[in-house]
């Protein structure tokens, strides 16, 4: 029995002209089973792959596939449809749809309605693997993500072309479950944004690992990729914040609209963070700072034969603790990567370091956390209460973390 997680929610479903459109009656059924009231809008191309009547029967609502059809009353139907939606979904999303939505083109029923949608929107792309890899499509996806569109799939599997590749639409059940669990983040608008937004909020985020050098070619470090901190920075910028991202060595380019300060060691990260902290409203310590560094650093590469196999170490500065000590009105968020007693350790860290929230992840679990594409975190508050976020792409998790920060700051 499926949980009725979409009970009473009005879901706007846009269907575009990919072969996977034949799965949309099943998708609508899955949404209805979860309690949603589904309004379908489709492109002329989509009608080649699925009959509007089939969608009409399963959604129990008139399907819109012609904007200029005569309607009852004087309201502008496509704007009303956009406004009525609590959640929006485009499945399947063609390469054509992604390109048009990313460029504000509105020349069919789906793009016209979706340009007016502000509700949290999930997109399930489906296309040939070469189309998916085209830089124009990749750029469109990146742009849409910056504007807070969420994505599910495409997945690897057998394509309509008769071979396996990445491009297959996620299964209807996965799409419906993802929509039901999606964090609430509305689509960006110029000069305005999500509820409880970050317009004008000054944010400092640390990200990535640090490197503690013994000599120019040897260092202590860890496998952090920086992706979580970068995703938090991108999400904050997309919500209107002024973001300074102080990053240890990471192979990711700066998110749009973010000031990136590159550093190497914990000492440098502290110095750069102190400068930005002076004017920050929110500080998120997402970096995986090395705890220790070699007590002595050599300016020249040491010969193997001359190196002492017993390395003397000393602690690095604790950036979160140092900054949070004098936080004043600032809102401070720590990260705790643990492998056991995750919540208890995170709560302990929160109290010790005067943080307002701690984001905890279990880095002992396979495929999440360090260097992974996805993450699954729990957000711990001072009173011990915990918000559990579902496992998702780091950008989606970043949305959930910011939702929690915005709500807690206001409370
Ligand atoms: C048999 C067939 C299957 C197609 N499947 C896809 C697909 O899976 N994904 C896609 O992006 N385009 C696909 N196309 C191309 C789109 O239908 C075409 O780009 C169309 O203009 C999309 O229009 P729309 O985005 O307005 O629905 C397919 C075309 C044909 C003829």
Nearest CA to ligand 1 atom 19: 96
Residues 24 and 154 in one domain: yes
Ligand 1: which residue has its CA nearest to atom 18? 17
In angstroms, rounded to a whole number, what is the distance separating the alpha carbons of residues 18 and 2?
Answer: 27
Mutating to test ligand 1, I would choose from 18, 41, 170 the residue with most ligand atoms within 8 A of its C-beta, which is: 18
Do the domain assignments include residue 189?
no
Mutation test of ligand 1: which of 43, 45, 65 has the most ligand atoms closer than 8 Å to its C-beta? 45
Position 382 scores a pLDDT of 93
Lowest-confidence segment of 125-134, 288-297, 371-380 by average pLDDT: 371-380
Res 195 pLDDT > 50: no
**Is 185 within the bounds of a domain?**
no
- 341 and 278 in a common domain: yes
Nearest to 212 by CA among 285, 303, 288, 320: 288
Has residue 20 been placed in a domain?
Answer: yes
For 238-250, write each residue's pLDDT tens digit.
Answer: 777 889 999 999 9
**Do 113 and 254 lie in a common domain?**
no
Element (H, E) at 342: helix 342-352
The answer to whether the beta carbons of residues 119 and 86 sit under 8 Å apart is: yes
Q: Does 393 fall in a domain?
A: yes
| Contact predicate 287/209, CB 8 Å | yes
Give residue 138 CA to ligand 1 midpoint distance, Å.
Answer: 17
Based on the domain organization, do 45 and 166 belong to the same domain? yes
Question: Domain holding 104: CATH number?
Answer: 3.40.50.1950
Number of domain units in the chain:
2
> How many whole angstroms from 45 Cα to the centroid of ligand 1?
7
In a domain, 193, yes or no: no
Q: Is the confidence at residue 309, as pLDDT, over 50?
A: yes
Q: How many A from CA of 39 to the centre of ligand 1?
A: 22
Q: Please give the number of the atom of ligand 1 that sits closest to the Cα of 169.
A: 8
Residue 150: pLDDT over 50: yes
Query: Which residue has a Cα nearest atom 11 of ligand 1?
Result: 94
Provide the 3-class DSSP secondary structure of residue 358. Answer: strand
Q: Is 21 exposed, middle or buried (0-12, 13-18, 19+ CB in 10 A)?
A: buried
- 262 vs 65, which has greater pLDDT? 262
Which of 180, 211, 233 is the last residue in one of the domains?
A: 180
For residue 3, being part of any structural domain is answered with: no
CATH number of the domain enclosing 363:
3.40.50.10300
Q: Is the pLDDT at 192 greater than 60, yes or no?
A: no
Q: State the distance from the centre of ligand 1 to the C-alpha of 89, rounded, in angstroms.
A: 18
Quick one: pLDDT at residue 411? 73
Active-site residue, 341 included: no
The helix (run of H) or strand (run of E) holding residue 373 is none
- Residue closest via CA to ligand 1's atom 1 equals 19
Distance 237 CA to ligand 1 centre (A): 33
**Strand 258-262 relative to strand 242-247, pairing:** parallel
* 210/191 Cα distance (integer angstroms): 36
Q: Whose CA is nearest to atom 9 of ligand 1?
A: 127
221 with 289, same domain: the answer is: yes
pLDDT band at 189 (very low <50, low <70, confident <90, very high): low
pLDDT of residue 158: 81
Could you tell me if 281 and 211 lie in one domain? yes
Looking at the structure, tell me whether residues 222 and 171 fall in a common domain.
Answer: no
Q: Is the pLDDT score of 28 beyond 90?
A: yes
Ligand 1 centroid to residue 377 C-alpha, Å = 37
Task: Please check whether residues 167 and 211 belong to one and the same domain.
Answer: no
Q: Cβ distance 90 to 14 under 8 Å? A: yes
Say if 319 falls within a structural domain.
yes
Closest ligand 1 atom, residue 110 Cα: 26
Peptide bond preceding 154 in cis form (omega within 30 of 0): yes
Q: Say how many Å lie between the CA of residue 93 and the centre of ligand 1.
A: 9
Judgement on whether residues 18 and 134 belong to the same structural domain of the protein: yes
Residue owning the nearest CA to atom 2 of ligand 1: 19
What is the extent of the structural domain holding 126?
10-180
Same structural domain, 38 and 164: yes
Report DSSP state, residue 253: P
C-beta of residue 409 within 8 angstroms of C-beta of residue 372: no
Angle at 288 between CA 287 and CA 294, to 5 degrees: 125
Strands 37-42 and 10-15: parallel
Is pLDDT above 70 for 284? yes
Ligand 1 site, CB within 6 A: 16-20, 43, 45-46, 94-97, 108, 126-127, 131
Pair (167, 219) in one structural domain = no
In ligand 1, the atom with minimum distance to the C-alpha of 111 is 26
The answer to whether residues 210 and 289 touch, using CB atoms and an 8 Å cutoff, is yes
Residues 66-115: tens digit of each pLDDT: 877 765 555 567 788 888 888 899 999 999 999 999 999 999 999 999 99
Asked if 155 and 275 sit in the same domain, the reply is no
Mean pLDDT of 216-226: 94
In a domain, 349, yes or no: yes
Q: What is the pLDDT of residue 199?
A: 76
pLDDT of residue 287: 97
The pLDDT value recorded for residue 139 is 95
- Catalytic-role residue among 96, 222, 361, 375: 222
Query: Of the residues 128, 149, 180, which one is the last residue of a structural domain?
Result: 180
């Amino acid at each position: 029995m499926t949980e009725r997680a979409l009970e009473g929610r009005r879901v706007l479903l846009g269907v575009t002209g990919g072969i996977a459109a034949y799965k949309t009656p099943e998708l609508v059924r899955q949404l209805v089973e979860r309690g949603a009231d589904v309004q379908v809008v489709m492109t002329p191309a989509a009608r080649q792959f699925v009959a509007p009547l089939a969608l009409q029967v399963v959604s129990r609502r008139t399907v819109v596939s012609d904007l200029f059809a005569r309607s009852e009353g004087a309201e502008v139907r496509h704007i009303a449809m956009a406004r009525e939606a609590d959640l929006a979904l485009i499945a399947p999303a063609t390469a054509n749809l992604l390109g048009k939505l990313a460029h504000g083109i509105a020349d069919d029923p789906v793009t016209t309605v979706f340009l007016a949608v502000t509700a949290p929107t999930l997109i399930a792309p489906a296309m040939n693997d070469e189309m998916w890899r085209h830089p124009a499509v990749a750029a469109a996806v990146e742009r849409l993500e910056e504007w807070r569109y969420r994505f599910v799939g495409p997945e690897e599997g057998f394509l309509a072309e008769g071979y396996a590749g990445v491009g297959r639409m996620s299964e209807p059940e996965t799409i419906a479950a993802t929509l039901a669990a999606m964090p609430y983040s509305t689509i960006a608008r110029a000069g305005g944004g999500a509820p409880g937004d970050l317009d004008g909020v000054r944010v400092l985020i640390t990200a990535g690992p640090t490197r503690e050098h013994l000599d120019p070619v040897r260092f202590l470090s860890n496998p952090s990729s920086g992706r979580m901190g970068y995703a938090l920075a991108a999400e904050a910028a997309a919500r209107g914040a002024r973001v300074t991202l102080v990053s240890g060595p990471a192979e990711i380019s700066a998110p749009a609209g973010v000031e990136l300060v590159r550093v190497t060691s914990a000492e440098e990260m502290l110095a750069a963070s102190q400068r930005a902290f002076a004017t920050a409203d929110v500080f998120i310590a997402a970096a995986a700072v090395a705890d220790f560094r070699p007590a002595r650093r050599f300016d020249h590469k040491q010969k193997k034969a001359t190196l002492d196999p017993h390395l003397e170490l000393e602690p690095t500065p604790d950036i979160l603790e140092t900054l949070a000590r004098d936080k004043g009105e600032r809102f401070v968020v720590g990260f705790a990567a643990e492998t056991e007693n995750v919540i208890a350790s995170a709560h302990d860290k929160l109290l010790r370091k005067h943080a307002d929230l701690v984001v905890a992840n279990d880095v002992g679990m396979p495929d999440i956390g360090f260097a992974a594409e996805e993450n699954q975190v729990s957000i711990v508050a001072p009173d011990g209460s915990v918000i559990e976020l579902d496992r998702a792409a780091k950008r989606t998790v970043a949305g959930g973390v910011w939702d929690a920060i915005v709500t807690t700051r206001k409370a």
